[in-house]
Structure formats: C-alpha cells, structure tokens
A and B are shown apart, each in its own frame.
Chain A
Amino acid sequence: MIKRTSHRAPPLLLWGAALCAAIAAIPLVYLVIRIGGAGAADIWAILTRLRTWETVATSVGLATVVVIACLLISYPTALLLTRTKLPLRRLWFTTVALPLAVPSYVAAYAWVALIPGMNGFWAAALILTMVSFPYVLLPLLISLRSADIGLEQVARSLGNKPVAAFFATTFRQSVPAAAAGSLLVALYVLSDFGAVALLRVDAFTRVIYTSYRASFDRTNAAVLAGMLVLLAVILISLERKARGRSLRFRADKGVASSPLPKALTPALSALSSLWFVAIATISLAIPVISLLIRLGEGTRRPLDWAELLGAVANTAWVSALGAVIAVLLALPIAALASRFRSRSASTIESVSYSGLALPGVVIGLSLVFLSINTVPFLYQSFVLLAFAYAVLFLPKSLGASRTALENVPPALGQVAQTLGYKPLRAWLYTSGRISWPGIAAGGLLVMLTAMKELPATLMLRPTGFDTLATELWSRTELAAFGAAAPYALALIVLAAIPSFALSRGFLTNSKETMVNA
C-alpha cells in the first residue's frame, strides 16, 4: 500500500519543492505580466472570436483522438508483451520506446514527402499517435507487469470469466498509469506546432504562432497562450482524479505472483507479430525510409560532416545538461508529492506541469524577457538554454521520480535515521538510492525530448550554436529537403540512444522502475 502520512511535511522540503515549482512556472509569470498589459476589451475580443473556439475545438478533438488511439494501441501491445509468449518478445521490448526518438515534425515531413497529398486532421492524428504512444505504453507495461495475479484469481473464484476478472482487477489498477501517460500525450498534442502546421490542420497553436509571427502582438498571443494553460489545468486535474481514486497495490506478503505467460496458438502468434511489425513500420520504418529516399535525391551543397558532427555534439551536451537540471528541480517536488498528501503538496505538483502545456515559442519568449531583465549575463548562454529545457520538460522527470519514490516504504528512511543518519542523508541512502533507476529513466526521457525541441532553442541558443533540430529547420525553410534529410536522420539516431536505454533499463529492471513519465 502506498503509505502517505498525514504528518505535516517538513518545512524545508515544502519550501524547497515550492521554490523548484516556482522556477518551473516562470513562463506563467511572463504570461501574467503580458496578459496584464492587455486591455479588457482586447481580451474580450479574442475570447469572443468564433474562430478561436473553432481552433480550440480542433486541438481538443485532435488530442482526444490521439489519446484514445494511443490507449487502443498500448493496451493490446502491453498485454501481448507481459502476458503471452510472444515470439521475439525481447526484441519488441527493447524497441518499444524508439518511436519517441522521432520528432513530430520530422515524422510529418517524412510522411508528406512520401505521400504528398497527406494532410488534414486524420493524418495529423495518425502521425501524432505513432510518435507519442510510448508515453502511454511504457507506464502501462510497468503497471501490468507488477500487478498481482492473485487478485485476478480471487475474482475468478468469485465466478468471473477470465476477461471479466481481468477488467475488474488488473485493468482497474492500470488506470493511474494509463491516465498519467494520456496526460502527457494530450499536453504534447495541444502544444505541438510543427506537425499540425505541415499537415495543414487548423490547430490552436497555429493561432498562437500567427499572433506572434504576424502581428508581433505579444499581448494577444499571451492571452491565447493563457487559454492553453487553462486547458492544461483542466487536464491535469482530470488526471489527478483518475489517479487518486484507484488503488495501487504492491505485493506485500510472500512472493508476488506474476502472471504466467500464456502460449499463443500459431495463428495468434503470427497475428501478434504482425501487429508489432505494423506498429514498428508505421512509427519508425516509414519515416526513416522516406528520409533515406530524400537523402538519396542529392543536394546542391555536399554534406558538411564537421557541421553535422558539431550539431550532434551540441545537441547531446545541452540536452544532457537540461536533463540534469530537470531531474534536480523535480526531485524535491517528487519527494514531497510521493509522501505527503496535503493541498499544498498537490498544488505545488500541479504548478510544475505548466511548462508542458505551453508551446515552445511562449517558453522561449518568457525566458528571453525574464533573463534579459534579471540575469543578462546568462542571456543567450548554453546554461540558459539547458534551463529552458528543464522548465519545459520538468513534468516528465517529475512523474517518473514521483512514482519511483512512492514505491519505497517510508520505514526505510526512518530506520536509517535511527541508525544515526541525518534526515537528508537517510533519504539519499535509502529512497534516493533505491529509486535511482526510475529517476534516471525520467532524466533520459527529458534528454530525449530536449534533443527534438525547436522554437525555444532558436530563441535562446548562443549565437552560432546549432543543434540538430535548428540545422534541420534552417534547411527545410529553404525547401532544401534533401539537405535536411541527414540532419533528420542524425537526430533520430541520436535520440534513439536514450530511447533504447529506457527500454533496456525497463527490461532488466524488475517492478520497481516506474517510468510513469
């Protein structure tokens, strides 16, 4: 049983976590300042424009469809991986997180290059689903893997057929994991711009970008971004409700019965394998092949290897630093949220999710504004860019760390204290040490996402500092798609490394690595 105490949280932890959350919410400060500059009449005009709501509806509709699609893909996939003797199971396990390595705009671009007429709502739904379903699949895998089969057996003894028993017990227990993953997917879809722009979907982000790009009216744009934040808040509270009501069980006594893998009939085996092949093809193979074709088409200027490798190094370093900062910022919040159930704890947690809802351009501008006015020596520095990544992607680290920490009994830390360890050291040597794999996984996830980031990078990077994403972008600007292909491929390959590590880490780890990102 997850033990949350009704103790008051120690003030140091509470204030530490609050500080970290406040740092993560810096873009909100910017929004408030800018919205404050808008006249009430302007705000009213924006809110009453029908078009605004049409695009909101489109974005919400897209997010809904993508979430449902991700769930529909993830549940059978997770079941096949955890409950059956699927052929090549290990192979599929390790590749399961790889679609995360493909940025949405690269996937969109690759598909459009292959099928020129591809566009519209359903095309965007397909592509966004294929690059984001691992966010749901990974936590689901962990949940199903650690479920105690004993509960299902009890349900069956009470007269339920196997499927019904499954739904009544294990499925219920998987809801928090699925909910957390769905939240990430929904926020991702709402804030995505690259893919929906390429696929010509009239999404809400388009309105925001247009506001920035065309009207230079940062006030109006801020109001629109504020709407996105409200939407995100609603989603976050929905997820919290879904998470809160369900019970989470660890096997407490004796050895937890893991489900025995079922053997599949040859027909089912073939069908299942086909399922996996199809997913891998659509999410990975096709984009990569499309890029390779473009690569083959030749370019005007030959590939500058030095430039490519330089971009690879830059991307790796700055995203790694961003991941480190994100993990450090998220840790106090995760430590707080995993043990204490007060209102302040959940508020602090919710506030830190704000970065995920906002499009990169808003985060970028907010940090431009705030850094140039408060810490100008950091403006356009490597460190600031890494910090922007941390703010943007902190929730991913937060979810993973929190889940990992939740699974460590508080008694361990208390015992360490009685053995003479001061509270912080006690925590580090017990909870910290034991949850390290989960925390590291969250860091990898941040690093992976940071590699693909574009709009904030463009604005905040040091002049002359290029990542793979910016190089890719500057080539596609010119319709030099052939020249863009090697950078797109390099980006996928580089991002595949942490993805692969995520899958592998999950595979070798037992139940305790909760990448509940």
Chain B
Amino acid sequence: MSLPRPRSTILTAVASISLLLPVLAACSSDTSSSDAGSSAGSTESAELVVYSGRSEELVGPLFKEFTTETGVTVNARFGDSAELAAQMLEEGDRSPAQIYFSQDAGALGAVEELLATLPESVTSLVPQQYRATNNTWTGVTGRARVIAYDPQSVPAEQVPQSVFELTDEKWRGQVAIAPTNASFQAFVTAMRVTQGDDVTRDWLTGLVNNDVQTYEKNGLILDAVDSGQVQLGLINHYYWYEKAAEVGEDNMRAEVAFMAPKDPGSLVNVAGVGILKGAAENSAAIEFVQWLLSPNTQEWFVNNTYEYPLVEDVASAEGLPELDSLAGPDIALAQLADLPGTLNMLQDVGLL
C-alpha cells in the first residue's frame, strides 16, 4: 500500500523562497569590511575598528561626529564590555579591533595584555587616578555609585548615607543590588581595598542575611525602585538621568542620592578606552582617543549621558555634586585589579 502523496504548497513555497534569499544576500555586497589581522601596522587609515561596550544608542551619534570632523570612518562593533573582552582574548593578536571602549575599568584591566601604552599626549589629559598605572588605558567619563530610593516609602532624610546601614533590619528585603554587574563588583573590590577583606565579607554576608534582592542589571534595579518593588537600590548615577530623559522626569518615581564622601558606596568608576597593540602607531587611533578627551566631547557626555567629565576645565552636569567632592574611597582605579578575589568572595557568600 503506497503512501498518500504529500501536498504542501505553502510550506514548499516559503521554504523555497527562504532558500533564494541567502543566495541573493551572499551575492549582494557584504557590508562588513572587517578583515581579521589587517589592523596591524598601517599608520594612515581612513577607517578605525572600535570594539565598544557602550551601546550604539548612546555613542553611535558620537562616533558619527568623529567621522564628520576627521573623515575617519568608525567601524564600530557593539557588545557587552565583558563579552567583548572575552572575545578579544580569544582573538588574541589576530583581533581586528584597534580601539576598545569599555563600560568599566574591570574589563579594561582584563585585556591589559593586549593594549598598547598610551602616549603622553593622551595621558596628560586625565588625572592619574583615572588611568591604568602602566598607562595602557585611560578613563573617559566618570560614573558615581549612588543609591536609588523610592520617595513614597523612604523620605529623603531617611535615605542611608553609608552602605553599612543597608544591613540594618529595617531594610530587610528592600535593598536591590546587581552582583553580576561589573560596577557592583568594582565597588566591592574598592571596599576590600579600603576596608579590608573581613569587613567586606561581613557586610556582604549581612546583606544576604537581610534578604537582599538581586537583579541582573542596574537598569532593572532602577525599574524595580521606580515601580515600588524595592525601596533602595545600588546603581550608577547616570541610569537615573538616562531614564528620566527617556520617559520624562515627571514620570519618574524613584530618586537618587549620593552617599557620604569617603564611604565605599560613593566610588567613582570610569568608562575607559585603550588602543590595541597592533594599532599603537596608528595616528587615527590616537586621534580618536584624544578626541574622546577633548573638551567638546567631554561636554557632549555631560549633556547626553550625565556622566562626569574627567578632563579639567569641563564642568559636570547641573545638579550633580562635584567630582572632587565625591572623591569616593581613596583609591586609584588601577587598584581594582583584583577582580578574581572579589568574585571568589561573592561566590563564597552566595551572591554569585
């Protein structure tokens, strides 16, 4: 007995069209022009390959500005700072990347071995505490750790001034952190450096015992505070300003407060940039970094992302406390290199 014959017109049609599409696509020009390994050596290039951990939404327009001003095309690859770092490490010296623009210092530290020493013309623009000790990378903008709070439950006066208050009974289940997030980890490392491992471990354990709520990202913490899910959250300052610009300040329920200066909770971290070894002589690459640190660009950051400029003579956004006044714990960011130690501790206490 034979099989009934299959009739499947629509299925075949869609599948056949899908077969044609990639053929067309493959024939049409591939917009990507990245050529692995071609980053080496060229001193003059009309093109720059940038691996950016900062999102396209944010810095895309900025890169276009650079192109308009200098004529150098920016071939930007956007991704998560840490994943890009892992990718670059896998790529090794065959990486097509020439510039690495990272969301945080930790990721820069992880790829230090791939980065070239920055020239004097660049390093002279930024205070030492915002650069790598060996000058393989430099910060571009600063972000302060702040505490977001829900004014409907927590009046401004009652907002904790120090992170050590967060283990208090009255904040049980009401504090939000993002332990997988690089900024939080940097903050913990800073605490370890200034307060010592034991104090830090006790504090972390205290948080866990106090039913601390964990989220994946700062943005989600802010959302949670904004919708009243939790009363307090540790985030980076500019998230609030970003969201406010997006949805309108009047629609924001959450507020942010800065903690007392010198408290571990008021760490200033940086988004930073490095030039990969293969592009060390590349004038366009150096120009790019210098441009990021130019007053115009720094002002752009101030106005668009509400981050702190790191270059002298550029004013911070209105309403933000001065960078110097924050100071944060007395450490150079480069000291935040012991990330593995922090991770181990976070894993030990059960936050990771």
Contacts and interface: CB of A to CB of B under 8 A. Distances in A.
Interface residues on B, range: 35 or more
A49 B352 CA distance: 12
Contacts of A83: none
Contacts of A369: 90
B46 interface: no
Given A213-B83, A464-B32, A479 B57 contact: no
Interface string B19-44: 10110111000111011110000000
A147 interface: no
B88 to A, nearest CB: 9
A480 B246 contact: yes
B10 A508 contact: yes
B11 A440 contact: yes
A433 B49 CA distance: 47
Interface in B71-104: 75-80, 82-83, 85-87, 89-92, 94-96
B339 interface: yes
Contact of B86 (A212, A382, A437): A212
Interface in B207-242: 213-217, 219-220, 222-224, 227-229, 239, 242
Given A297-B247, A321-B22, A379-B36, A474 B55 contact: yes
A296 to B, nearest CB: 12
Nearest to B227: A116
Contact of A254 (B1, B22, B182, B350): B1
Contact of A508 (B7, B14, B91, B222): B7
A414 interface: no
B110 interface: yes
Contact of A444 (B14, B30, B55): B14
A386 to B, nearest CB: 7
Contacts of A436: 6, 8, 12
B32 A386 contact: no
Contacts of A379: 34, 36, 94, 96
B4 interface: yes
Nearest to B78: A474
A317 interface: yes
A510 B6 contact: yes
B11 A214 contact: no
A512 B32 contact: no
Contacts of B217: 477
B3 A382 contact: no
Given A381-B30, A497-B14, A368 B247 contact: no
Contacts of B257: none
Given A212-B83, A213-B180, A497-B14, A465 B31 contact: yes
B246 A299 contact: yes
Interface stretch (A5-13, A223-231, A259-267, A498-506): A498-506
Given A462-B30, A465-B32, A478 B242 contact: yes
Interface of A: 49, 51, 116-117, 197-198, 200, 206-207, 209-210, 212-218, 251-254, 297-301, 316-318, 320-321, 323-324, 361, 364-365, 368-369, 372-373, 376-377, 379-383, 386, 407-409, 434, 436-437, 440-441, 443-444, 447, 455, 458-459, 461-465, 470, 474-480, 482-483, 497-498, 501-502, 504-505, 508-513
19 contacts: A200-B215, A207-B352, A215-B343, A254-B1, A301-B57, A321-B21, A368-B87, A368-B91, A372-B95, A379-B36, A458-B78, A463-B49, A463-B77, A463-B96, A480-B242, A497-B14, A501-B10, A512-B4, A513-B6
Given A116-B224, A459-B83, A464-B77, 6 more contacts: A200-B213, A214-B352, A372-B95, A379-B36, A436-B8, A510-B4
